[in-house]
Amino acid sequence: MKEKLDRLNAIIAEISDIGDAMALLGWDQETYMPTGGAETRGQVSATLGRLVHERATSDEVGKLLEALVPWSQSELKEDSDEFRIIKNTKRGYDQQVKIPAAMIEERAKLQAAGNIAWREARQNDDWAKFEPYMDKWVDFVKRTADLFKPYDHPYDVLLDFFEPNMKTADVKVIFDGIRPSQVELIDAISKKPEVDDSVLHLHYDRATQLKMGEEVSKAFGFDYNRGRQDEVHHPFASNLGYGDQRITYRVDENFFNPYFFGNAHETGHALYEQGVPKEKHRTALYGATSLAIHESQSRLWENLVGRSKPFWEWYFPTLQKQFPAALGNVKMDTFYRAINKVKPSLIRVEADEATYNLHIMLRLEIEIGLVEGSISVKDLPEVWNTRFKEYLGITPPNNAQGVLQDVHWSFGLYGYFATYALGNLVSAQLWEKITQANPNLPDQIRKGDFSHLLGWLRENIHVHGSKYEPQELVQRVTGTKIDGAPYVKYLQTKFGEIYGL
């Protein structure tokens, strides 16, 4: 069986190489590609996507798995890398073999064209520009779900691509469990005097912001010899293979938050990828295990570290020196309260911790409605505004700040949004375990020492790559599956202190 396993690993390595090339093309499309290249880029990506699909679902892979799966179940330990390689490959094979190659090409072309249309639509507040592509995407994801019948719910199919074996019903139960507490907290905060965050809306020089961001990401542990950062419309982190992790950013010279916290967020993603051991590269164990686990890393660095009091007790004096005009006479506590101000806002990526999950629940509800057919694309701006008012108490003034604000739908990432809120919950579960194992963590952060924190994440999360399924990994590390209670407790404690609740 060793020869068969070696052959399977060789095929996986080839697929990984093509995947890395596709990731590079995707990163370039978002950063430097001229808009006129969209059609050609779509064709190239479609061809590469088809080649990956053909290789991953080939008769050879199917026959190798037919021999290796029963062998692994009878001869290998379930916790061994070899067992997990075969298991992960079988899962991917079973998933991809149901999707025709023509749909892989269709998806790649629609991603390239749809993203360019979204950029123009958002820039010009022109829903009509993007609506035809939204129609195409909803039709595409419905057809994709149909390939996987029977199912408990069509949305299960889409969710499973990003969060293996997570069901729509499971997510609803988790969200229903935390929504009342979050709404209650927001309501209690709304009765308190509003925090003055005007200090965040002064002038912050672009070049200095970039210097600051690089300084902080290096302090967290990001290795710039194995990564870089570039500007985009909508920030993201991209893994182009071992030793090449890209951070992207957006800068607003008149608002402190977007760059600083966006950079901390994307650094968290990149740290995860940089922490997966080299020997897992070009194998079925490389990369993150799921989007929720990935998001747990980015939200941990962005919020539990980047918005914490110990962090600013360390870094605020440096920040004052970098922006003396804006912050020279500002007290640290004033700044700390400002960056943690709770107030319903229009833009998800700029939302505070207490209201953020409501943005996700709104999007999940809309996506489920689109897939079920209870919401039509033509009505989406109206539906968005109505439900945004219900969830957050405000109405977007235009579509650019409303239904067009996120890039995900232009790429066909339906089933993705729930992972953001799930990641929030996991981040708090992990934080409880980290602080139990390392009670001195706050003092370490006050000194700008993040090595112990990163070391714990490396040892408990990053080292495994995608060896374990997400719920399995969370249970191994925390003792329970994804649970909202630690996150609610974290919010209540933090904002109870800030607002005197």
Tell me the C-alpha distance between 112 and 248, whole Å: 19
Find the range with the poorest average confidence among 125-129, 194-198, 344-348: 344-348
Q: What pLDDT, in 10s, does the model give residues 290-338? A: 999 999 999 999 999 999 999 999 999 999 999 999 999 999 999 999 9
Position 234 scores a pLDDT of: 79
Looking at residue 349, what is its pLDDT? 85
At 42, the pLDDT band (50, 70, 90 cuts) reads confident
Supply the pLDDT for residue 379: 96
pLDDT of residue 133: 97
Residue boundaries of the structural domains of the chain: 2-127, 168-499
Asked if residues 443 and 492 have their Cβ atoms less than 8 Å apart, the reply is: no
- What is the model's pLDDT at position 298? 97
> Looking at the whole model, is its pTM more than 0.75?
yes
Rg, C-alpha atoms of the chain? 23
- The CA distances from residue 420 to 104, 105, 438, in Å, are 25, 28, 26
Dist CA 451 CA 445 (whole Å): 9
What is the average pLDDT value for the chain, to the nearest integer?
Answer: 95
Mean pLDDT for the stretch of residues 116-133: 95
**Token match 């990053």: residue?**
462
Residue 449 has pLDDT above 90, yes or no: yes
Decide if 163 contacts 419 (C-beta within 8 A): yes
pLDDT in tens, 237-257: 999 999 999 999 999 999 999
- Overall average pLDDT of the 49-71 stretch: 96
Q: Which fold has domain 168-499?
A: Neurolysin; domain 3 (1.10.1370)
What values do phi and psi take at 245, rounded to 5? -110, 130
Mean pLDDT for the stretch of residues 256-269: 96
- pLDDT over 90 at 23, yes or no: yes
Q: Which of 445, 418, 443, 427 is nearest to 483 (CA)?
A: 427
End-to-end CA distance of the chain: 63
pLDDT in tens, 453-479: 999 999 999 999 999 999 999 999 999
pLDDT of 35 above 90: no
Rounded to whole angstroms, the Cα distance separating 101 from 106 reads 9
- Map tokens 């992972």 to a residue: 419
**CA-CA distance, 205 to 327, in Å (whole number)?**
13
Mean pLDDT for 420-427 is 96
What's the pLDDT band for 38 if we cut at 50, 70, 90? confident
**Omega cis (within 30) before 324:** no
List all residues 6 or more positions away from 339 whose beta carbon is below 8 Å from its beta carbon. 197, 200, 256, 257, 261, 307, 312
Q: Are 284 and 88 spatial neighbours (Cβ–Cβ below 8 Å)?
A: yes
Active site residues: 266
Report the alpha-carbon distance of residue 240 to residue 228 in Å, rounded: 11
Contact 105, 44 (CB under 8 A): no
